[in-house]
Every structure is written in C-alpha cells, then in structure tokens.
Amino acid sequence: MDGGHKYLSRPPRYPVEIPEFLLAEVRKRGIDLVDLLSKALGVDPPRRASAHLELAKRFLAEGVALAEGDPVQASEKLYKAAEEAVKALAVALGLEEAQKAEEQGRWTAALLFTAVDKIAKREGEDFKLWWKSAWFLHVEGFHEARLTPEQVKDEVKYVKKVVETAVRHLETTSRG
C-alpha cells in the first residue's frame, strides 16, 4: 500500500446535487430514477434489478426504524421497499411490465399490480397477499395517515416477505 493509506473496500459516496426544479418535475411525472439512469447508462437487466433490490433493502430498514415514532413515514418507506422489490423481480424475470416501465420512464400502479400477478403465479399466491399489505400501508398508512405504530409494525413481516422473495430470486440467478 502506497504511503500507508488503506484502500476502501468500496469507493466513498459523494452527494448528488440535483436542482430542485428537476426533482419537482421527476416527482410530478412519477419518473423512476433507477430505470431512467439505467437506460441512459446502458446498464444490463441484472444490474438494474440489483439496484432496485438495494433500494428495497434500504427502504425496509428505514421503515422498520421509523415504525414506532413516525407511522406515516414508516408506512411509505415500507411500501417503497415492497415496490422496489417487485421492480427488481420484474426486471430479473424479464417481465414485459419492466420493459414497459423502462420505455415510459415510470412504473404505474397498473404495471406494478400486473407484475405482482405474474410473480405470484411463479412464487405462490401468498406473494399477492404480501403485496396487498404493502399497498394497504401506502394508502391507509401514508396517504390517509390512519394507522397506529402497532398497525404498521403488524404489516412489517409481509413487506419483509416481498423483499426476501426478491433477495432469494436474485441470489439464485446470480449464482447460475
């Protein structure tokens, strides 16, 4: 090692600066930044799926941490964890919904629900029920702000199942 410096196992993170008006436009249009950047950079589907899975894991951890003190934000983080896991699976499985989302630059609720139906045919009907739990958190916990911390915590196990399904599938396919 040169000069006694230790090399990091991964490069340091740098803050990404995006002008506020661009972020507002992204939100307004519902653009999926992972898909947009992946398409612009020519990232292959396995790496795109991994990017979605990385976000799913991050949102899951954040949602669990927020569940006791901020059920509204926890609900949205948990929903986003399930959403990103579904996107990861759709990309990894080569579902047409992932292709349509990439072409449109965004995932619609219709694309997500259709992808969930197809994933459930492969993974079992419970997958659809786990997804509905995440959707419940999105609507009742985040948009309507009607859920207590206990009610949010009761749904965590189902969101974890969605994320675990994506983890299991992506690990299996990456091993060959």
pLDDT tens per residue, range 53-92? 999 999 999 999 999 999 999 999 999 999 999 999 999 9
Backbone φ and ψ of 106, nearest 5°: -160, 155
Q: Which two tokens stand for residue 110?
A: 């219709």
CATH number at residue 136: 1.20.120.330
Residue 77: what residue type?
K
Q: What is the pLDDT of residues 138-176, one digit of tens each?
A: 999 999 999 999 999 999 999 999 999 999 999 887 665
Tell me which of 18 and 155 has the higher pLDDT: 155
Q: Is residue 151 part of a domain?
A: yes
> How far apart, in Å, are the Cα atoms of 43 and each of 102, 138, 166?
12, 29, 19
Instruction: Look up tokens 């609900």; give the residue.
Output: 75
pLDDT for position 9: 52
| Residue 32: strand, helix, or coil | coil
Q: Is residue 24 part of a domain?
A: no
Q: Is residue 76 part of a domain?
A: yes
Q: Is residue 3 part of a domain?
A: no
Q: Is residue 20 part of a domain?
A: no
> How far apart, in Å, are the Cα atoms of 113 and each of 24, 84, 109, 136?
26, 13, 6, 13
Backbone φ and ψ of 31, nearest 5°: -75, 135
When divided into structural domains, the chain yields a total of 1
Of 78, 171, 77, which is closest to residue 131 (Cα–Cα)?
78
Tally Cβ neighbours within 10 Å of residue 165.
Answer: 23
Q: Is residue 116 part of a domain?
A: yes
Mean pLDDT of the chain: 90
Domain that holds residue 98: 33-175
